[in-house]
A and B are shown apart, each in its own frame.
Chain A
Amino acid sequence: MPRFVELWVYLSATPLFGLTATLVVYLLAQAAYARLGSPPWANPVMWSVVALACLLTATGVDYPSYFAGAQFIHFLLGPAVVALAWPLWLRRAELRARGMRVMLAALLGGGAAAASAVGLAWAFGLPPEVVLSMAPKSVTAPVAMGIAEKIGGVPALSAVFAVITGMVGALTGKYLFDLLRVPAAGEGWTARGFALGTASHGIGAARALQVNADAGAYAGLALGLQVVLAALLMPLVFRLL
């Protein structure tokens, strides 16, 4: 028994643990999600996070030692943001044709999400650093952290809010769109996908991608646009305020 404990102490301190645990837990969550027929509540990101947090608490591994391994996955967010150029490029013809409306949707949607988040957080009496960290939460986590840093928020908090935002969109988006009578067909798919990419970034886009190819492509497009728009405009707006 002590020998096992010794081995565990060794293993849990190496980056190998965080990396392996993240990948294995995610693949299990993904398999369960697919098996259940991809219902929103079975979102693999949410359940992976819950399972890993429980695993870390149960084994007494702290977050920094977990992250020492998981950072290799986290690092890929940078290249993934760059890779968003691809869905933008693929849809460039459509983007040119529907450009004005698409831009308007991205600007108004992203603006509404950020303004309502800051306004509501302020109205609910949350501390100032929380209020500021709310602003970039509809942008994909790595960029949200960058923006938070520039506007005086707490990058780690923005990342957390971004992840929760993504899950809210992925979990409840379907019901909201049904309520708004945006159909799950034809052009409705593109609007649903685009909205998910705009207001709930990569996690919403991942959900859109799993449900419908058109929705997924528009989600990727929205994600790329939102990243550029928010990174450009948000620091400017906060400088003026």
Chain B
Amino acid sequence: MNGLRGLAWLLVFQSAGELISRALALPLPGPVLGLVFVLVALRWPVVREPVSECAHFLLTHLSLLFVPVGVGVMTHLALLTQYGLRILVVIALSTWIGLAVTALVLYGLPGRARGRKEEAR
């Protein structure tokens, strides 16, 4: 029951986000605005308890939700066969750059990592 109530809360906040984003022509997509609203509303147990249950369920099965869009790759096969290799190289390189920069900023900034890096060399 709590899971269902949680889904209702998520949908209510998403709808609110969608409405406000559209009405004020904000650059934030509706669900993102909904996220911000939920973040504020989580201080109240009426929202917190059901949302935690539903969020846990949704986020554990997050990877399933990408499958339908993923299958959509097949509708762009023409473009992908034409530029496929280049697209793949661009995506792989930029993803690695993003991963490396993030991990090193978080793990290897001043104070802690300097010694570690030297020891690694």
Contact = CB atoms under 8 A, between A and B. Distances in A.
**Same assembly:** yes
Interface string B44-74: 0000100110111011101111111111111
Given A79-B11, A83-B10, A88 B62 contact: no
B38 A52 contact: no
Chain B interface mostly:
helix
Nearest to A122: B90
B106 to A, nearest CB: 4
Contacts of B56: 86
Chain A interface mostly:
helix
Contact of A70 (B67, B76, B80): B67
B35 to A, nearest CB: 5
Interface in A149-168: 150, 156-157, 159-166, 168
Contacts of A163: 66, 69-70, 73
A109 B32 contact: no
Contacts of A31: none
B98 A124 contact: no
Contacts of B74: 53, 56-57, 63
A206 B75 CA distance: 25
A161 B100 CA distance: 19
B59 A220 contact: yes
A13 interface: no
A132 interface: no
28 contacts: A22-B64, A22-B67, A63-B71, A70-B67, A76-B65, A80-B59, A82-B13, A82-B14, A84-B35, A89-B42, A105-B106, A110-B98, A112-B98, A116-B94, A120-B89, A127-B83, A130-B83, A157-B79, A160-B72, A161-B87, A169-B95, A172-B96, A176-B99, A176-B100, A191-B103, A195-B99, A198-B98, A205-B62
